[in-house]
Amino acid sequence: MSIYRNAVWFMKGLQEYTKSGYEAAAKHFAPADLDVNLSGRSFMITGANSGIGKATAQEIANRGGTVHMVCRNKGRADAAKEEIVEKSKNQDVHVHVVDMSSARQVWAFALNFTESNTLHVLINNAGCMVNQRELTEEGLEKNFATNTLGTYILTTALIPALEKVEDARVVTVSSGGMLTQKMNVDDLQFEKGTFDGTMAYAQNKRQQVILTERWASEHKKIHFSSMHPGWADTPAVQTSMPSFHAKMQSKLRTEAMGADTAVWLAMSPAAIKQPSGLFFQDRKAVATHLPLAYSRSTPQDEQKLLTALKEFADKFKP
């Protein structure tokens, strides 16, 4: 990682990504933006049993939307569903057990889902930060398989269904950590050098932003966006970044604060007025590169990413 990028990013984060950064931004939010009735609208949220995903699912259920929770652990998902239903009094909440690191499972689920369900909004929230290099049963590095390939397959498989409905949206929960990375398309599974889970995660999040931009240029009937939730106090941060969590706990955002922009992008009439393909933070489109960071990829490298993902996806397609 670039020392310059890391230093600039951390200083930016202290000012903008913390709880106080959210509170400052929220003074300019329009409360009416989320005053919507979602009855008749169907939402899919991956990683919805805890953290930002669960908070997002709760906000959608509160407003009458149909919620499809895509989760790996059935027990935790069922418990989260019960809590969401109890708080919202909305019974239209459904659990789908899928391991997003399994390309075959993601394909099978998505293709089956579209046979009997309508979908208006996909929220790609599931993610992981595995700090030791680990391979899935399909032989793929786990961070890449979950964060990038799983997101790519699910979105690709659902695009035909999304193109059939009005006001279709895809929101991908990325991370401001991607600002520290220039995509390395020649080592997507981190086979070279010393493995660094934080770097791998940030690479994946950079890839998600690039995917969002490409999808937006290719599928005009769907509104695509990616977003940074800020530094939020979630179970994932506690387990994957324990030292960061311990040092920053008092400054971290709540889960609801972290989810706010994803919720806004998924349901607000104001969000759809923004151009498709942008990266958001606290309900505003923001730059995808730090000043003088030299983190931009060439169009050729971006195409190499798309080509590689298609090859992986096709390999595991039923």
The residues that are catalytic are 201
Could you count the other beta carbons within 10 Å of the beta carbon of residue 275?
Answer: 10
**What sign results for the dihedral spanned by CA atoms 142, 190, 278, 260?**
positive
Write down the residue that tokens 């994932």 correspond to. 236
Q: What is the 3-state secondary structure (H, E, C) of 35-77?
A: CCCCCCCEEEEECCCCHHHHHHHHHHHHCCCEEEEEECCHHHH
Task: Judge whether 63 and 38 are in contact, CB under 8 Å.
Answer: yes
DSSP 106-129: HHHHHHHHHHH---SEEEE-----
Joined tokens for residue 129: 């930060």
* Burial of 267: CB neighbours in 10 Å, binned 0-12, 13-18, 19+: buried
- Give the whole-angstrom CA distance, residue 101 versus residue 32: 37
Helix (H) or strand (E) holding 173: strand 168-173
Q: Please report, as a single letter, which amino acid is at residue 223.
A: H
Distance CA 292, CA 275 (A): 25
Tokens standing for residue 211: 């995917």
